[in-house]
Amino acid sequence: MKNPLLENTKLPQFNKIKPKHFRPAIINIINENKALLQQLLSQKEYTWNNFVLPFDIMQEHLNFVWNTIQHLNSVSNNLKIRKAYENCVQIITKYNLEIAQNDKYYHALNTIYKNQYCLKLNTTQKNIIHNKLLDFHLNGAHLSTRKKRLYIKLKEQLAFFENKFSNNIIDSSKNLSVYLNERQIKGIPKYALNSNGCYSAIKNGVNIWCFPLNEISYKILMTFADLRSVRKKVYIHYAAIASDLTINKKELDNSDIVVKILRIRKTISTLIGFKSYAEYSLATKMIDKTEKVINFLYDLIKYCLPTAKKEIDELKQFARENGILRIYSWDILYFKEKLSLKKFSISEDFIKSYFPVDNVLKGMFQIVKRLYNINIIEKNILSWHQTVRFFEIYDNKKKIIGQFYVDLYHREDKYPGAWVSECYSRHLSLNGNVQIPVAYLVCNFHPMVKNISFLNHQEIITLFHEFGHCLHHILTKMDFPYVSGLRNIPLDFSEFPSQFMEYWCWHLESMKLLINNNIKNSKSTNNFLQKLLEKRYYFSANDMLRQLRLSLIDFKIHMDFDLSKQNQLKTIISQVDKLTNLLPKSKYDRLLHKFSHIFAGEYAAGYYSYTWSEVLAADAFSKFEKYGIFNHNIGTLFLKNILEKGGSRNPIVLFKRFRHREPNINFLLLYNGIKNLKPK
């Protein structure tokens, strides 16, 4: 059988790849890799050039094929693709664990590390080998044969349950709809009634509107539906997804899976020699001690609370003025929007009219052209869906640097959320040729209506965030695949370039570049932008407090989880909520059941990374704000010291090269409207 995944092509052949190709391709490459590894291990002496580099280059073919399969599972999650993917997960997990516990491979790396000065390894090469040896330790290379087998079994179980967690959310969401009559749709924008799978039908002589209950529809209904009873109904239905509240799909309840995942992680960390999974997780993070993370989060909560309480008091007062004496969870988004409209006189619907997707993309590309002297050009190629777009990045000498796909719109068979993942990583092949990096940028925005799409401000921020990840992957100058682009960067540093890009969404000069061309320079547009940017601090302390709540819950359940205790998760969440929740908590709240970042992603005991990275981002951007947000010299400094370096250096060293000092938390507080700053 011809297999397009095994053909030597510059980009994946999405028009040819079928689920039947997944397993044969993976098995074929793994067998080749095992044979080459045996050949490399049979050498009498080990060096960088005859062992480390050939092995890493060998792995790149497998990485490309597996990246392609993972990507298709994320953006085209039909039954055939899912089954083929799940089959491959087991094979890949087993292979990776075999490599991670290969005693001969570990011995070869150790030998090279001990001879690093004789072999004249540079700093990047030394760091690579040091981190590879750490990976071996974290994967149980030091364990007895019996414990190694147990570790492999646990990791295979973990991969299964993490995948099951994601699938339950997708399956529980499918065909889940809310039906509303003409009276119940009052307040909902017209654009929401004609897109995103929403439709109307005559039922028993009455016009009924059907809303598929995905993330987009949920936010629209909770923000705009005037009837409180409708918002409560939607809230309860959405909370039920993949939870014990699900009525007809108990097999899709993630309650037991959450506990199983935590048990397995606890067992793995104890087996390796750590007190908790939180401690195990920090072995590869920028912040290296559990108490440092806890103190960081508690510290920020303390500074956030006074401003957050003022915001809540204002919201409560506004609700009372509108006849609501007590706010519940299903009221918050609605009254936030209504109070925002009163204070700033611009609605989300009105904001969207200013920002067509094409203009936002062109403006975003113009911003990075000014900062980094790069040019971005769109190309037409075949992909996995007709709405996907493809771009190439060129330097100022018209030399191609990298490429990226952009998949912006929500579909039923697509994972929720937004992310960037790699297709190819930049590296030098053994013959010296450069493999240019290729990325996937994925969002879940409101689908196009009549081939036109508009973004609200939050969606623009999301796009800039993901584009920051994309640039971090593509603008790397690292030649070694292990530390290229997004590879082997501590998680609490990896969100820094993405959070950093968001700040250009809060300045008049940069936002003007994103506006619809027909109204870009009008007086009314300038007035609109001024009002939009005034919203910067609106409810920002509470938004930050929400992130801190999620981070603290994540970290504490992974730090304190005890196999012998009952109802421990509820206790931990309750303790955190007493500290961070300023409004009554709903009995329907099911936070953990859809918390994919920590139960199906890489953010377990690491969700705090978003906030720590934002400390770095706010501090870094303050330098641009001081000297000019389009200052090319400072842009070049950021490019050379942060974006190009990948995982080659200690992150704090890279940050200090750019900022010439340690990070300062006060810029994060200032950019969130919090005036009671931390003493310097």
Give the CA angle between residues 450, 452, 458 to the nearest 5°: 135
- Band of the pLDDT at 450, cuts 50, 70, 90? confident
Q: Is 375 exposed, middle or buried (0-12, 13-18, 19+ CB in 10 A)?
A: middle
Q: What is the pLDDT of residue 680?
A: 63
What's the rounded Cα separation, in Å, for the pair 277 and 561? 9
Lowest mean pLDDT among 72-76, 115-119, 607-611, 657-661: 115-119
Average pLDDT, the chain: 93
Active site residue ranges: 466
504-530 average pLDDT score:
86
If you search the block for the tokens 């540079």, which residue do you land on? Answer: 122
- Band of the pLDDT at 289, cuts 50, 70, 90? very high
Q: Which residue has better confidence, 348 or 221?
A: 221
**In 3D, which of 96, 104, 77 has the Cα closest to residue 19?**
77
Q: What is the pLDDT of residue 444?
A: 93
Q: What is the pLDDT of residue 103?
A: 92
Q: What is the pLDDT of residue 175?
A: 78
What's the rounded Cα separation, in Å, for the pair 122 and 141? 26
Lowest mean pLDDT among 209-213, 306-310, 549-553: 209-213
- Residue 485 carries which side chain, given as an amino acid letter? G
pLDDT at 72 over 80: yes
pTM for the whole structure: 0.92
Q: What is the pLDDT of residue 350?
A: 83
- Band of the pLDDT at 418, cuts 50, 70, 90? very high
624-647 average pLDDT score:
97
What's the rounded Cα separation, in Å, for the pair 470 and 503? 16
- pLDDT tens profile 592-602: 999 999 999 89
- pLDDT tens profile 13-62: 999 999 999 999 999 999 999 999 999 999 999 999 999 999 999 999 99
Within 8 A by CB and 6+ apart from 482, the residues are: 56, 128, 131, 132, 488, 647
659-676 average pLDDT score:
93
If you search the block for the tokens 């890799």, which residue do you land on? Answer: 33
What's the rounded Cα separation, in Å, for the pair 500 and 614? 7
Q: What is the rounded radius of gyration, in angstroms, for the C-alpha atoms of the chain? A: 25
Q: What is the pLDDT of residue 521?
A: 66
367-389 average pLDDT score:
97
pLDDT at 520 over 70: no
What's the rounded Cα separation, in Å, for the pair 276 and 286? 18
- pLDDT tens profile 121-139: 999 999 999 999 999 999 9
Q: What is the pLDDT of residue 174?
A: 82
What's the rounded Cα separation, in Å, for the pair 30 and 91? 9
Q: What is the pLDDT of residue 446?
A: 85
- Band of the pLDDT at 336, cuts 50, 70, 90? very high
Domains within the chain, CATH numbers bracketed? 19-100+102-138 (1.20.1050.40), 176-252 (no CATH), 255-345+541-607 (1.10.1370.10), 357-538+610-671 (1.10.1370.40)
3-state secondary structure of 633: helix
- pLDDT tens profile 453-471: 999 999 999 999 999 999 9
pLDDT at 614 over 80: yes
Q: What is the pLDDT of residue 522?
A: 74
Q: Tell me the C-alpha to C-alpha distance, in Å, between residue 253 and each of 164, 243, 249, 257.
A: 10, 4, 7, 8
CB pairs under 8 A, 24+ apart, for 2-11? 3/28, 5/65, 5/68, 5/69, 6/65, 11/381, 11/403, 11/423, 11/438
3-state secondary structure of 174: coil
- pLDDT tens profile 164-222: 999 999 888 887 889 999 999 999 988 788 777 788 888 777 889 998 888 888 999 99
Q: How is residue 331 written in tokens?
A: 């009221």
**In 3D, which of 178, 154, 364 has the Cα closest to residue 263?**
154
| Contact indicator for 576, 552 with CB cutoff of 8 Å | yes
Lowest mean pLDDT among 380-384, 418-422, 520-524: 520-524
